[in-house]
Amino acid sequence: MVGEGRRLLNTPPALRVYGSRDVVGVELASALSGAYTVVLGLSDGLDVGPGTRAVLITRALAEASRLGVAAGAEARTFSGLAGLGNLLVRGGDRPMPNRSADYQLGRRLADGVVTADAARTEGARAALAGVELAAQLRVRMPVLQGLAAVLTGRLEPRQVANLIGDSVAEAE
């Protein structure tokens, strides 16, 4: 499977191609990493610090894994390239000139700039859809629910930061 993929993509031997039979997990992990990238942009905009940022990434991974398992995916997929790997690249803490639209949206939300097109980025749409799926599957996802509340104008970013902080403390 991987060899055929490498041949079709005409990739050089130095590029490693990974395969997975967990299609649901890869799709969901990739989509949710976009949503959590918005959260990282928001947290950086609120200047929460590296410790809180690390907790957010850990909570995001746990939330996404819970939702994935409830949807029929494998939990370990979310700690792989499609989930954690994707999130670290899109919302990494290194300064990059061309941050993703999702990360930039998070920064704008932290600055109080919410426009009508805020829910049009891939990550924002994934957050709103993820919250709906979580409700259907009865999975608690405070970080994603907090983001959805900001995107829909129900809560201010600082209020969500406090709610997420409280839920993190409960989980520990």
Q: What is the pLDDT along the chain (172 residues), one digit of tens a residue?
A: 556 655 666 666 666 666 778 899 999 999 999 999 999 999 889 888 888 888 889 999 999 999 999 999 999 999 988 889 888 888 876 656 567 889 989 988 998 877 666 668 899 999 999 999 999 999 999 999 999 999 988 888 888 777 666 555 555 4
Domain boundaries, position 79:
23-171
* Tally of domains within the chain: 1
The reply to whether 40 falls in a domain is yes
Name the DSSP class of 94. S
State residue 72 phi and psi, 5-degree precision. 100, 10
Which pair of structure tokens corresponds to residue 84?
A: 């954690």
Distance (Å, whole) CA 128 – CA 142: 13
CATH number at residue 100: 1.10.1040.10
